[in-house]
């Protein structure tokens, strides 16, 4: 493994090992901090505070003296050294999301005062961003499409086989690395980071899948945790069928609220004055675009507006209701929404950026698949997954199509390594969202039952929104005192047609476009 600049990636030799209980290794070297803008490709030149470095970790923590990889980390030092009370490690979710820029997101949020009392530590998990990863090139057959004339089941079987072949090929590029792309391994990487920083304990702030990462770290290293906050909490039982069932139920509720809201503003949208009229109009539009998708742009800038696009727009959360309804109107009227034009332009720009001219990826599709398929309980049989899907569609006509996890691990070549979470004694604040679809409130309840902690609830449907709301003060209070809350707070008000959509991308969570052709299944 070449120790290179942060922008380097690694493709390394093939091996096969089993993950077992790690042994103790020598203390890691202290990070060699340098300003990120001087060493990290694509880093904003105006950022004069954030420092970057790499930390060396074992590929397999059960073999601490074996093959090594580098994990990229960042630091923004506490702005009030006299009030400093340690480090805070951050993760924005995924799995597959890069987190090295998350300190900037914290400093631009309602919990920005965390940066006064803590060194904020971001990192790119193994497999993504500036950290070492497997490079698996996309082949033409990876994006092949079935004939439009095929039935839904034939198309689904085609996609399952196509994606399964690609996943297996990428995993077999480096089986040792792929096998060790797990939440457990990444949690152990965090403890190497802690030791390299010279800290006895860490504070931790995780969102979405980052909550599973925090729960793993606390289960493994409870004595190394000072205080931990987990926002938009993962399900404690990592079962993909259960995940699809619970998220689709939550999204169906979101859709029903949206359809009722649209009916109140028929003077603006003209989809109908009742929930039933709106549903018929939107379902008819979805059926039309499922049968006859529309294509925008060409080549690398080509995107498709189809039935899945309509489902995505129909089930967006409240903050996007005004923009989603306006886009549905344009699609109905055979116009191209501006958001779709922007998505096509962005797709072309991503394709044009190559090599050293390109900033590192912010998300890794392969890491996403590897972590889920290495750890989740799920069927790898197409017929079983299809039957599950048919049951969901019958029960949840608006949102059933949003189920995207069950069956995605077909042809994955490695065995499941189930989660082993357990309670701890360190201070733990869970944050759940009453109406959220990505990580439903039931998940936070299940995690509390598994690992303990106190549950603070936000009366909204927006993923990871604590850092956007005035009640972010609850998080500040928790990290200042260690006292967790069981109270609640209101979310953002329900919009009107004149309410602008929020800006996407705050380095804390990922807001995915309905026109994202990748449609990667993530928890954040």
Query: pLDDT tens digits, residue range 421-436?
Result: 999 999 999 999 999 9
Query: Which pLDDT band holds residue 523 (cuts at 50, 70, 90)?
Result: confident
Spell out the domain ranges in the chain: 34-134+177-239+418-490
* Separation CA 72–CA 54 (nearest Å): 4
pLDDT of residue 15: 31
Q: Is the pLDDT of residue 13 over 50?
A: no
8 Å CB contact between 261 and 399:
no
pLDDT of residue 2: 34
**Residues with Cβ within 8 Å of residue 214, at least 6 apart in sequence:** 91, 204, 206, 228, 230
CA-nearest of 77, 60, 70 to 21 is 60
State the pLDDT confidence band at 349, using cuts at 50, 70 and 90: low
Task: Report d(CA 51, CA 512) in Å as an integer.
Answer: 28
Reported pTM: 0.91
- In order of 155, 405, 524, the CA distances from 402 in angstroms are 16, 9, 15
Top-confidence residue, 502 or 405:
405
**Tokens 């290179």, residue?**
4
**168-191 mean pLDDT:** 97
The fold of the 34-134+177-239+418-490 domain, in CATH, is Rossmann fold (3.40.50)
Q: Judge contact between 296 and 341, C-beta under 8 A.
A: yes
Residue 378 clears pLDDT 60, i.e. is over it: yes
Helix axes 240-264 and 382-395, enclosed angle (nearest 10): 30
Condensed to tens digits (0 to 9), the pLDDT of residues 428-467 reads: 999 999 999 999 999 999 999 999 999 999 999 999 999 9
Q: What percent of the chain has pLDDT over 70?
A: 89
Mean pLDDT (whole number) for 305-314: 95
Question: What does the DSSP 8-state code read for residue 522?
Answer: -
Q: Kindly indicate the confidence band of residue 338, based on its pLDDT and cuts at 50, 70 and 90.
A: confident
pLDDT exceeds 80 at position 386: yes
- Give the residue among 85, 80, 209, 79 at the shortest CA–CA distance from 482: 85
pLDDT at 189 over 80: yes
- Does residue 503 have a pLDDT over 80? no
């Amino acid at each position: 493994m070449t120790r290179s600049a942060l922008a380097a990636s690694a493709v390394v030799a093939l091996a096969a090992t089993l993950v077992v209980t790690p042994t103790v290794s020598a203390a890691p070297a202290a990070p060699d901090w340098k300003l990120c803008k001087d060493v990290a490709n694509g880093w904003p030149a105006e950022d004069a505070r954030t420092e970057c470095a790499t930390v060396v970790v074992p590929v397999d923590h059960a073999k601490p003296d074996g093959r090594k990889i580098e994990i990229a980390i960042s630091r923004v030092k506490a702005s009030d050294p006299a009030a400093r009370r340690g480090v805070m490690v951050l993760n924005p979710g995924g799995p597959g999301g890069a987190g090295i820029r998350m300190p900037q997101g914290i400093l631009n949020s309602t919990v920005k005062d965390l940066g006064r009392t803590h060194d904020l530590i971001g990192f790119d998990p193994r497999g993504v961003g500036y950290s070492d990863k497997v490079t698996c090139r996309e082949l033409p057959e990876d994006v092949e499409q079935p004939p439009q004339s095929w039935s839904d089941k034939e198309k689904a079987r085609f996609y399952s086989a196509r994606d399964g072949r690609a996943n297996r090929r990428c995993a077999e590029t480096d089986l040792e690395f792929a096998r060790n792309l797990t939440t457990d391994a990444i949690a152990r990487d965090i403890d190497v980071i802690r030791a390299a920083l010279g800290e006895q304990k860490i504070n931790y702030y995780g969102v979405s899948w980052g909550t599973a990462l925090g729960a793993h770290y606390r289960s493994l290293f409870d004595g190394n945790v000072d205080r931990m906050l987990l926002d938009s909490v993962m399900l404690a039982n990592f079962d993909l069928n259960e995940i699809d069932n619970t998220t689709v139920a939550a999204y169906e509720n979101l859709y029903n609220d949206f359809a009722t809201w649209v009916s109140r503003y028929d003077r603006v949208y003209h989809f109908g004055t009742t929930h039933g009229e709106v549903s018929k109009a939107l379902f008819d539009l979805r059926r039309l675009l499922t049968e006859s998708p529309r294509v925008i742009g060409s080549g690398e800038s080509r995107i498709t507006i189809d039935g899945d696009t309509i489902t995505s727009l129909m089930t967006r959360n409240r903050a996007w209701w005004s923009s989603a309804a306006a886009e549905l109107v344009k699609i109905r009227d055979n116009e191209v929404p501006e958001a779709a034009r922007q998505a096509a332009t962005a797709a072309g720009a991503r394709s044009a950026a190559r090599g050293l001219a390109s900033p590192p990826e912010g998300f890794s599709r392969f890491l996403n698949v590897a972590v889920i398929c290495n750890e989740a309980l799920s069927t790898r049989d197409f017929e079983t997954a299809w039957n599950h899907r048919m049951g969901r569609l019958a029960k949840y006509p608006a949102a059933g199509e949003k189920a995207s996890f069950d069956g995605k691990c077909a042809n994955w070549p490695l065995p499941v390594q189930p989660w082993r979470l357990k309670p701890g004694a360190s201070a733990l604040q869970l944050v759940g969202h009453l109406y959220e679809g990505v990580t439903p409130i039931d998940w936070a309840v299940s995690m509390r039952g598994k690992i303990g902690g106190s549950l603070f609830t936000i009366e909204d449907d927006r993923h990871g929104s604590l850092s956007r709301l005035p009640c972010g003060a609850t998080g500040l209070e928790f990290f200042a005192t260690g006292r967790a809350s069981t109270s609640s707070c209101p979310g953002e008000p329900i919009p009107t047609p004149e309410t602008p959509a929020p800006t996407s991308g705050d380095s804390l969570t990922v807001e995915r476009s309905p026109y994202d052709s990748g449609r990667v299944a993530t928890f954040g």
